[in-house]
Structure 1
Amino acid sequence: ICTFYQKGVCFYGSRCRYDHVKASRLQAQTHLPSSETSSSVSPSSLNSRSSPIAISVGPIQDVKPPALGHITELSYLENHFSPSDGHIWSHTYEDPFAFNVELDCSSSVASASDQPICAFAAAGSCPRGDSCPHVHGDLCEICGKHCLHPYRPEEREEHIQQCQRNKKHLEALRRSQEIECCVCLDRVLSKPTPAERKFGLLSECDHPFCISCIRNWRSNFATSGMDVNSTLRACPICRKLSYFVIPSVIWFSSAEEKQEIINSYKAKL
Structure 2
Amino acid sequence: EGLEFRYLTLDTDLPENMASSLRRDIAAAVLEILWRHPDIHPDHLQYLHGISLVETASWKRCQQWDNVFSFYDPGDSCIKIRQDQTESPGRLEAAVLIALGQSLLGNYCQEKGMEDVFVEERQVGRLYRLITGKRQELNSFLSPEELDTYLQLSRMCPKKDEKHCYTRLVNGEEGFTPPGLLFGLVFAWYLDNRFASNVEYKMSVMKNIPSDLIPEQVRILRRREKLIRFFRERIFRDQFF
Tell me which protein shows more helix as a share of its residues: 1
Q: Which is bigger in relative contact order (C-alpha 8 A, separation at least 6)?
A: 2
TM-score, reference length from structure 2: 0.20
Flag the structure with higher strand content.
Answer: 2
Report the structure number with the largest CA radius of gyration. Answer: 1
Q: TM-score, normalised by structure 1?
A: 0.18
